[in-house]
Structure 1
Amino acid sequence: MIHHAKPEVLKAAAVTMPFVRFIEVRMSARHVQTVQSLRAEMAAEIARASVHEGGLADFVLGCAAQLNRVLPKLPALPTSQQAYIDELVADWRSRAQSVGEAAPACQSATGGAALFAAESACLAELIDAFAFVEDATAGLLAGEGLVLPAMTFCTAFDGALCAECSHIDQGAAFAEKIVLFLPERGFDKASFCAMPYVLMHELICHGAQGISGPCPRAAGGPDCPWSDGWMDCLAYETCLNYLFLGNANFAPWLESMAAAIAAAAQAHHAARYQSAGKLTALRELAAMARNEGKEAWHALRNVAAAIYRQLPGVTPYEAETKADALRRTFSLLYNAADVAHEERAALVTGLWTLLSGGNADRAASVAAIEGFVAAPNTGALHRAFAL
């Protein structure tokens, strides 16, 4: 776990991690165990440094000592062992001198302080996560002829990992500001791995909302079945699909940690729909609204697939694929439409009611969705669901 209490230690961690990755790309798959050993050594040094007031130079030298114990296990170093260590330490020190210069894509939302501390740099992995979700979302929208607004990513602190999105449209140009809130009391592996899903939710559910309507857009509303239930399910599935099936050119660590990222995404996604007695009344209602959206999301796919399986010559796999495509296209197009927040919430309720009804209601619901996808008209869609 990386602690936030010692800014110099966190700064040094940001400096150190690129070199762990640097070593990884020089090692074949059969040396995975050695890479894990190296990561463990570095993590142990970070933990030791977090409990004393040692400076950045001491930390770097400590990491070098740890690396010195691990290097004999590494195959085919590009130079002699000592020269390689010297090269790393020199590069570490060089980077340490420039860590106060925050990366342009990752500026703080708290008065100019960058990630982790007032004068520290953003982690390369954080910027990778921003690029991953932006690329995935842009590709998803492009498939439906939609364009992702210009994105500004920022960091701040809160009690737990979360994010928020706000429209900062200018003139006729759509733009979004995404703030990723990092835990004040520690940034562990689970939080680290959950970043892609947390950010994906903001871009797909909120950042891409209303982008086929007039500019500037109205501010988003509170938690609702559509934005935080229905669309969250799309964000979750997109995160997993892009991670495993996207064939994307994203950072190597995202690929190597895909299983851990998927597990963290699943945990955070599931937590959004949990309802417990400890929740306040407002949070209880919000959880209920999100669950309604989630249930409707799954119901549309199941009902549409059942209908398509009855078509001549359509295999079960083709029916499910067709149902998935219908739901995805409808979700993106309706989310992008110029629709009031309350109307989106009402649509989910109406859709869920009909999908839970008899066969005629179910067929009518799917037909209405198909009609909207073929020729997007929110008025006709709303009338179909008696809104």
Structure 2
Amino acid sequence: MDLTVRAIESWIVDVPTARPHKLSNTQIACQSYVIVRVTLACGETGYGEAATLGGPRWSESSVESIKANIDVYLAPAVLGIRATDFELASLLMASAAQRNFAAKAAVESALFDAAGRALGLPASLFLGGQVRNAMEVIWALASGDADQEIEEARAKLAAREHRTFKVKIGFREPREDISRLRRILDAIGGEARVIVDINQGWSEATALRFLPELAEMGIALIEQPCSALNMEAMARLAGRSNVPLMVDEAAFTGQDVIRAGTLAAGSVLSLKLVKSGGLIELKRAAGIAAAFGFELYGGCLLESGIGTAAHLAVFSSLPRLEWGTEHFGPRILVEDLIRGGIVYRDFQIHCPEGPGLGIEVNEDTLSRLARKT
């Protein structure tokens, strides 16, 4: 069987969300992706995905830059190699372009999917095999409307889909955020665990004032309270907080994780393909973090079923994943990009079964939602 990579194509896809999703620095009502399709000489294909949030606001990448770098630099670098030569593909892409982690992750995901489909093997097997086929799944409350968020959370609890909720704050004055958060906790706190994500929205001084109040409220975890550029501030806050802090935007590369661990900038790390640049590097980042004593959290960037399946392939192979994952992205979209969908049941997300990423891309939906210009 010839596993040579013969073609790599990419599209930008814009998918409306069922409700607005607010962060400290942006709000989206439509989620954009770059979808990659790899075609092998044997005729098998595989898909990967790169996600952003509101353009280059969350990181330096936008879907436009991701697509351009895939088409011009990354795809030519891996054409002609075997799809199973994952380390070689990573090295070739690293030589072709600096950083561009989301773009590299999309290409590598498509290689894993194509290789697995051609060989009849799940992508997780290339990463050491599964140690779990389901994991606790978190839902984000991020509309900014407490009434809507309470109703949404109650519906998720009643359907036994989610019992841990991450509330996005940092986009209003802290006292307003705290007031909204108290309303949510009063409504669901006895039934659910609550995490907050500040998305770098507070200064160190603001965080010092309000972290004790979050602790008093019983918040389980606080994500990235201050700027990713100020790891030292994160370390000072972590040393004074009674609630564990999670490092997200401050740690993309393995070297970043080492620095975060050395400084004790938190005690939980958010894992994302768009930060690590591929499935293999994501697993390496998890190993580095675990060596420093970080607990692990499966982060997301509102991926569709394609990106979710790629993340689950890695998460299912990790020896530890203490906080589960927040891969609820397919459920916030008006329509997903895969047939059948990802299964959410009994407060867990279940790994797709089958070769490659275990999914079937809906090419009709992909074509209809693809950006035309």
Where relative contact order (Cα < 8 A, 6+ residues apart) is larger, the structure is 2
Question: What is the TM-score of this pair, normalised by structure 2?
Answer: 0.24
| Structure that is richer in strand per residue | 2
Question: What is the TM-score of this pair, normalised by structure 1?
Answer: 0.24
Larger radius of gyration: 1
